[in-house]
């Protein structure tokens, strides 16, 4: 049984169908990179899985249990946590308070303030600073740390490198390695194809709300991903050769 299974999921933004008939599953310890051009439906899909966007069809199974109608906070309690696009930190609160708020679900596990600071050492001297005063990279590290504080079984990361300087992206990915090394299960939405393919164990490419390519990161070719990304050829679901 998959840890997370999405079955024939539909989600809309008003009249616009942003996600169409999407299905995928992820096993414990896997890192799925969800890639695609702007407007492909990645963020909507991730938010739907996290419970932040109402679905219009299909279902979401977590550990065999249908969580489609559960509210976002309930899903965090079960072990699904989203690092939202744009970080969405509580800007008026300190880094330490942001991390502590992340533990609101009271899920037990390896992540606490100390272990988060071990993984994201750049945050150690910033604990008393207001989150709104941090640089983009520091904010992203705080956002990931805040999500880890809920000890998720699946971490959904939306646009990890968006709006960050190359140096900041490098730092955040370095820190993320510690999270990956801990055996975390991650769904990563990323525009940077090269990084996504290096980090992920599996890749799914979205185009116009559908998954048009899905395969193991070691099996898909850069050409097949590029073709799927830009919609140059019609879809194939397995094996990486569209």
Partner 1 sequence: MVNELVQGILLGCYYALIACGLSFTFGVLRIINLAHGSIAVLGAFVVWTIAEQWNISPFLALVAVAPFMAAAGWVLQRTVLERSLRSGALTPLLSTFGLAIVIDNLLFSKFGADTRSMAPNIGDLAFASWNLPGGVTIGQLALLTAIVAVALLGGLQLFLARTPLGRAIRATAEDPDTAELVGIDSRKVYAAATAISMVTVAIAGTFLALRATFDPYAGSAQLIFAFEAIVIGGTGSLWGTLIGGIVLGVAQNLGSQISPQGFLIGGHLVFFAVLAARFFIAGRSPGSLVRSLRRTSP
Rounded to a whole number, what is the largest CA-CA distance in the chain? 51
The beta-strand segments (E) located in 1-116 are: 4-13, 16-26, 31-36, 55-62, 65-66, 80-83
Candidates 49-57, 109-117, 134-142, 234-242; binding stretch for partner 1 (CB under 8 A): 49-57
Class of residue 39 by CB neighbours under 10 A (exposed 0-12, middle 13-18, buried 19+): middle
Select from 43, 147, 185, 224 the one that contacts partner 1 (CB under 8 A).
147
Give the whole-angstrom CA distance, residue 24 versus residue 67: 15
Query: Nearest approach, Cβ of 224 to partner 1 (angstroms)?
Result: 33
Q: Decide: is 71 part of the binding site for partner 1 (CB under 8 A).
A: yes
| Residues 195/173, Cβ–Cβ less than 8 Å | yes
Nearer Cβ to partner 1 (105/138): 105
Q: Decide: is 72 part of the binding site for partner 1 (CB under 8 A).
A: yes
Give the whole-angstrom CA distance, residue 50 versus residue 152: 11
DSSP secondary structure letters along 4-20: EEEEEEEEEETTEEEEE
Candidates 21-29, 91-99, 162-170, 230-238; binding stretch for partner 1 (CB under 8 A): 91-99
Q: Decide: is 104 part of the binding site for partner 1 (CB under 8 A).
A: yes
| Residues 81/89, Cβ–Cβ less than 8 Å | no
Tell me phi and psi for residue 193, to 5 degrees.
-60, -45
Q: Decide: is 84 part of the binding site for partner 1 (CB under 8 A).
A: yes
Select from 77, 109, 163, 231 the one that contacts partner 1 (CB under 8 A).
77
Candidates 4-12, 86-94, 163-171, 184-192; binding stretch for partner 1 (CB under 8 A): 86-94
Q: Decide: is 92 part of the binding site for partner 1 (CB under 8 A).
A: yes
Nearer Cβ to partner 1 (45/228): 45
| Residues 119/141, Cβ–Cβ less than 8 Å | no
Query: Nearest approach, Cβ of 88 to partner 1 (angstroms)?
Result: 4
Q: Decide: is 108 part of the binding site for partner 1 (CB under 8 A).
A: no
Which residues make up the interface to partner 1 (CB under 8 A)? 50-52, 71-73, 76-77, 81-82, 84, 88, 90-93, 97, 100-105, 107, 146-147, 149-150
């Amino acid at each position: 049984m998959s840890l997370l299974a999405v079955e024939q999921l539909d989600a809309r933004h008003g009249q616009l169908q942003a996600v169409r008939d999407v299905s995928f599953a992820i096993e414990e310890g896997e890192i799925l990179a969800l890639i695609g051009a702007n407007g492909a439906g990645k963020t909507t899909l991730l938010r739907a899985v996290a419970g932040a966007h109402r679905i219009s069809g299909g279902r979401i199974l977590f550990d065999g249990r249908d969580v489609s109608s559960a509210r976002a906070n309930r899903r965090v309690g079960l072990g699904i946590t989203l690092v939202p696009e744009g970080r969405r930190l509580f800007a008026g609160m300190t880094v330490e308070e942001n991390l502590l708020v992340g533990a609101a679900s009271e899920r037990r596990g390896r992540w606490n303030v100390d272990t988060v600071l071990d993984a994201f050492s750049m945050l150690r001297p910033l604990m008393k600073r207001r989150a709104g005063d941090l640089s983009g990279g520091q904010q992203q590290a705080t956002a990931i740390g805040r999500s880890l504080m809920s000890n998720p079984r699946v971490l959904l990361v939306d646009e990890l490198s968006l709006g960050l300087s190359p140096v900041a992206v490098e730092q955040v990915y370095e820190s993320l390695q510690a999270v990956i090394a801990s055996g975390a299960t991650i769904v990563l939405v990323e525009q940077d194809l090269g990084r996504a393919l290096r980090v992920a164990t599996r890749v799914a490419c979205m185009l116009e709300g559908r998954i048009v390519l899905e395969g193991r990161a070691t099996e898909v070719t850069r050409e097949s991903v590029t073709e799927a990304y830009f919609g140059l050829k019609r879809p194939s679901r397995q094996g990486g050769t569209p």
